[in-house]
Amino acid sequence: MSEQPLVTLQNVGKTFGPVTVIKDVTVSVYAGKVQVLLGENGAGKSTLIKMMAGVYQPDAGRIVVDGNTVTLPTTRAAEALGIATIHQELNLVPTMSIAENVMLGRMPTKHGMVDRSAMRNRARAALALIGLDVDVDTLVGELGIARQQLVEIAKALSINARILILDEPTAALTRHETESLFAVMADLRSRGVGMLFISHHLDEIAEVGDTVTVLRDGEFVAEVPASTPEDELVRLMVGRSIEEQYPRNAGGAAETTETAEILAVEHLSSSGRFTDINFTVRAGEVVGIAGLVGAGRTELIRAIAGADHYDSGTVTVRGRALPKANIKAAIKAGIGHVPEDRKGQGLVLDASVNDNLGYATLASTAKLGLADFAGQRSRAQAVATKLRIRMHTIDQAIGALSGGNQQKAVFGRWIIAASTVLLLDEPTRGVDVGAKVEIYELMNAITAAGGAIVMVSSELPEILGMSDRILVMRDGLLAGELTAAEATQDAVMTLAARDVADEN
Amino acid sequence: MSTTTLPAVRRGFDYKKFLANNGALVGLVVLCIALFIATPDFLTGQNLLNIGIQVSTVAVLAFGMTFVIVAGGIDLSVGAVAALAAMVSSWLFVSAGLPGWLALVGGLVAGLLAGMVNGLANAYGKLPSFIATLAMLSVARGLTLVISDGRPISTPAEVSFLGGNLGPVPMPIVVLLVAALVASFVLNRTVIGRSMYAVGGNAEAARLSGLPVKRILVTVFALAGLFAGLAGLLLAGRLDSAQPQAAAGYELDAIAAVVIGGASLSGGLGKISGTLVGALVLVVIRNGLNLLNVTSFWQQVVIGLVIALAVGVDVLRRKTRNG
């Protein structure tokens, strides 16, 4: 390639204390190209982009921008060279308006005061770049997570970046929102912007990428064209071939005569969230709930788990009706809830793996108010081994583990609690391919042992691949039910969005 | 060969880790050595007992505060509640004619109830703990003045005993040690104690795991009130009277002790041993500056700088560890 890259990380390395996170990796971003960074969680992608964004300094190697070796001591220095980052974690102030957020740190002023109309206009122009039609005076906190992400993207775009680092920008977006982002990316590409793109959705790589850099355990594995088949990408990434991405033993339990109904939801309604929901789940079944963001799936799951109030209807586990909004009673009846937001709702990040595994059983195993230390610990150790949670010690803060291992710990909590009805909300979000398969195998093991699973997921392939039956929600209603045999991407989407094009 | 070198390497590593995790303790030791060199009056039996007595009130208050801060809250009312508990106890004895031991228990119950009100206002009334306990600070101090009519009331013998001596050992030191053991036991071994870390670390995750977050918060503040009551009785016992303005501003010392001891004001972190060291740091500095004839005005300046330094170092340490 004779063309000079916009930016190159050349043979860079990074260590934190005794741990080498990145070893001798070279990545380049070219004008008008989308470079994809692929690797499991913990492979070093985040560290690499933080070096490019000026957050971390490489311990070895160098950073070259436009042919000149540079140092990027701060994110400001990176921005000055035209490198902007869209972070995985949202970086917005929820109590400020969209306009203020977009222009944060560079608000236009007039006579020393904020020039509000100029600020609004520039923010509107930024939103127009990605086709987001929202009032710029809206508080960011009032937006759903998908729109907040779009605001963040608009903000980065408005800095006139030449090099855009996109760290899993599509993780929280619906298909339609993803499409509009890709349209924006295509537009930017034609304008000569270079992009570094990270995604766990393999199907997106061929769609937007040009070349793919594959990392494994902090080391460079290969650079391949984005058109490389998914199977091959997975093999490069995890270092072994994964026979099946969705190893569902479909029909295993459903065929048996003992199709005992474990969970029954009848006429469940919650004003403004969902209306008259009816369904049952039998032992050994995985029921997937599909739908667009905002269709009421998470709200439904939370109501069943006892996390939120509902107005009417009943939730019955093994013939026994559960009291409303009572998590403790739900847990006692065998319900385990793996919430949507792992870090915000699932885990106490500063606490140890041991503590996090034991919260659901802390009180039930105690004697006279004294925690069963030895018992809790041995149970935690056993389940951590069984689920292959990769960690240094069980006393390590769980926040230091990769997303997949954190999620396995949330599952582990319910396995220790002997839960038989698992309510999973986006169980593989932010989880790498290897850990995904482990989570799917775990779901198989739970259902094989007579458990029942309800899974909400925005990843259609996951819903289609892992569910025995699929319920589709739209605007708080059950729009339809499909069996595994009759479900296709089109069939689900037709039910999920009567008018797909207008749903935003 | 390797058998002789390996353990040495490992010992060096542990030593470093120990230093990093016990910055306040290291600071305390350095402080004591410096004072030992600076003045011959520091390392005398009498002075050390004085330090023990002085630290008892602050430390007992701070133990209660540790529960609250670990659970992610703050309690500004502990000083006022301490004064109220002592006053209620003396009033029960002098005006209501209850036996001394019952008056003592009555004082502790008053502290417990005041704390429980804080907890109810925080957990069920949805008031931020800062506001709920700020209100309680005012209410408790006001009630103390109402009960006493602004005058000191003498304490029953049972309370005075808490401020006296047990053989050669001052009772406040005995009470302090017992309180430390109890607080440490509660925090480390009981369900409620372990739950405090979860609630302070991530209340929503704790709730979704089935922990009764609201009941835990009420218990946390009630415990803080109980410890405040005990601290109030210790203070009154030393003076043989409950003073209406007793322990004013002590809540700030208690918070400082907890924070110097390594707890995070955002919750989820903190240890009783750290808090005890934090309280000792505060008291030893004051004691040392007194011995060195530094005026109390300058003492305040120094204490302020020490708090900033301790927390600053801690923040820096966490940053480098996580970076």
Q: Answer yes or no: is A446 within a domain.
A: no
In B, which residues are within 8 Å of A333 by CB distance? none
- What's the pLDDT at B2? 37
User: Between these two residues, A161 and B246, which has the higher pLDDT value?
Assistant: B246
Strands A335-338 and A421-425: parallel
Instruction: Give which of A114, A112, A113, A143 is closest to A127, Cα–Cα.
Output: A143
Q: Cβ(B214)–Cβ(B229) under 8 Å? A: no
Q: Which residues span the domain enclosing A18?
A: 7-238
- For residues A407-413, give the mean pLDDT: 95
The CATH number that applies at residue A92 is: 3.40.50.300
Among A169-183, A420-434, B178-192, which range has the highest average pLDDT? B178-192
In B, which residues are within 8 Å of A337 by CB distance? 208
Cβ of residue A365 closer than 8 Å to a chain B Cβ: no
Q: Cβ(A385)–Cβ(A391) under 8 Å? A: no
Distance of residue A269 Cα from the nearest chain B Cα, in angstroms: 21
Query: In sequence order, what E strands does chain B have?
Result: 153-154, 165-166, 169-170, 241-242
Cβ of residue A348 closer than 8 Å to a chain B Cβ: yes
Cβ of residue B123 closer than 8 Å to a chain A Cβ: no
Cβ of residue B317 closer than 8 Å to a chain A Cβ: no
Q: Answer yes or no: is A225 within a domain.
A: yes
C-alpha distances (whole Å) from B144 to each of A188, B36, B287 are 70, 41, 29
Cβ of residue B201 closer than 8 Å to a chain A Cβ: yes
What's the structural domain count of chain A? 1
Question: To the nearest whole percent, how much of chain A has pLDDT over 90?
Answer: 51
- What's the pLDDT at A494? 83
Nearest residue on chain A to B188, alpha-carbon basis: A371
Measure CB to CB from residue A347 to each of B197, B205, B212 and give the nearest one: B205
Q: Answer yes or no: is A337 within a domain.
A: no
- What's the pLDDT at B4? 34
Distance of residue A180 Cα from the nearest chain B Cα, in angstroms: 33
Instruction: Give which of B67, B56, B78 is closest to B229, Cα–Cα.
Output: B78
- What's the pLDDT at A245? 67
Measure CB to CB from residue B202 to each of A327, A347, A370 and give the nearest one: A347
User: pLDDT, tens digit, for every residue of B268-295?
Assistant: 999 999 999 999 999 999 999 999 999 9
Q: Answer yes or no: is A154 within a domain.
A: yes
Q: Answer yes or no: is A323 within a domain.
A: no
Q: How far apart are CA A119 and CA A111, in angstroms?
A: 14
Distance of residue A394 Cα from the nearest chain B Cα, in angstroms: 16
Question: To the nearest whole percent, how much of chain B has pLDDT over 70?
Answer: 92
Residue tagged 């503040």 (tokens) = B221
- A339/B206 CB distance under 8 A: no
- What's the pLDDT at B319? 64
In B, which residues are within 8 Å of A363 by CB distance? 191, 195, 210-211
Measure CB to CB from residue A359 to each of B189, B211, B264 and give the nearest one: B211
Handedness of CA A42, A48, A49, A50 (dihedral sign): positive
Q: ∠A84-A88-A92 over CA atoms, to 5°?
A: 75
For chain A, the average pLDDT equals: 87
Reply yes or no on whether the pLDDT at B5 is more than 50: no
Measure CB to CB from residue B198 to each of A330, A344, A348 and give the nearest one: A348
Q: Answer yes or no: is A419 within a domain.
A: no
Reply yes or no on whether the pLDDT at B205 is more than 60: yes
- For residues A372-392, give the mean pLDDT: 93
Cβ of residue A305 closer than 8 Å to a chain B Cβ: yes
Cβ of residue B11 closer than 8 Å to a chain A Cβ: no
The SS3 call for residue A320 is: strand
Q: Selecting from 1.10.3470, 1.20.120, 1.10.357, 1.10.10, what CATH number does the domain B45-310 have?
A: 1.10.3470
Reply yes or no on whether the pLDDT at B6 is more than 80: no
Q: What is the C-alpha radius of gyration for chain B, rounded to an integer number of angstroms?
A: 21
User: Between these two residues, B320 and A107, which has the higher pLDDT value?
Assistant: A107
- Indicate which of B184, B208, B214, B317 best probes the interface with A, i.e. most A CBs within 10 Å of its own CB: B208
What DSSP line would sit under A170-193, residue for residue?
TTT--HHHHHHHHHHHHHHHHTT-
Reply yes or no on whether the pLDDT at B10 is more than 60: no
Q: How far apart are CA A299 and CA A291, in angstroms?
A: 12
| ipTM reported for the complex, 2 dp | 0.83
The token pair at A305 is 């788990």
Residue A501: pLDDT band with limits 50, 70, 90: very low
The token pair at B38 is 């600076």
- A345/B195 CB distance under 8 A: no
Cβ of residue B194 closer than 8 Å to a chain A Cβ: yes
Strands A211-216 and A34-38: parallel
- B207/A363 CB distance under 8 A: no
Domain ranges of chain B: 45-310
User: pLDDT, tens digit, for every residue of A205-263?
Assistant: 889 999 999 998 888 999 999 999 888 888 888 776 545 667 776 544 444 445 689 99
Q: How far apart are CA B64 and CA B85, in angstroms?
A: 14
Reply yes or no on whether the pLDDT at A152 is more than 50: yes
Q: How far apart are CA B214 and CA B229, in angstroms?
A: 23
Distance of residue A150 Cα from the nearest chain B Cα, in angstroms: 26
Q: Cβ(B222)–Cβ(B112) under 8 Å? A: yes
User: pLDDT, tens digit, for every residue of A476-489?
Assistant: 999 999 998 888 88
Nearest residue on chain A to B205, alpha-carbon basis: A345
- B208/A305 CB distance under 8 A: yes
Q: How far apart are CA B188 and CA B21, in angstroms?
A: 18
Residue B7: pLDDT band with limits 50, 70, 90: very low
Cβ of residue A19 closer than 8 Å to a chain B Cβ: no
Q: Cβ(B107)–Cβ(B161) under 8 Å? A: no
- B198/A351 CB distance under 8 A: yes
Q: How far apart are CA A25 and CA A365, in angstroms?
A: 49
- What's the pLDDT at A191? 81
- What's the pLDDT at A241? 53
Cβ of residue B149 closer than 8 Å to a chain A Cβ: no
- For residues B153-172, give the mean pLDDT: 92
User: pLDDT, tens digit, for every residue of A281-292?
Assistant: 999 999 999 988
- For residues A12-25, give the mean pLDDT: 84
Beta bridge partners of A220: A215
Reply yes or no on whether the pLDDT at A461 is more than 60: yes
- B197/A351 CB distance under 8 A: yes
The number of C-beta contacts closer than 8 angstroms across A and B is 78
Measure CB to CB from residue B192 to each of A305, A355, A369 and give the nearest one: A369
Kindly report which listed range (A27-36, A266-275, A351-360, A454-463) carries the lowest average pLDDT score.
Answer: A454-463
The SS3 call for residue B248 is: coil
- What's the pLDDT at A40? 75
Amino acid in position A423? L
Distance of residue B271 Cα from the nearest chain A Cα, in angstroms: 13
- What's the pLDDT at B323? 39
Cβ of residue A45 closer than 8 Å to a chain B Cβ: no
Residue tagged 């209501």 (tokens) = B96
Residue B9: pLDDT band with limits 50, 70, 90: very low
- Indicate which of B185, B209, B266, B319 best probes the interface with A, i.e. most A CBs within 10 Å of its own CB: B209
Q: Answer yes or no: is A412 within a domain.
A: no
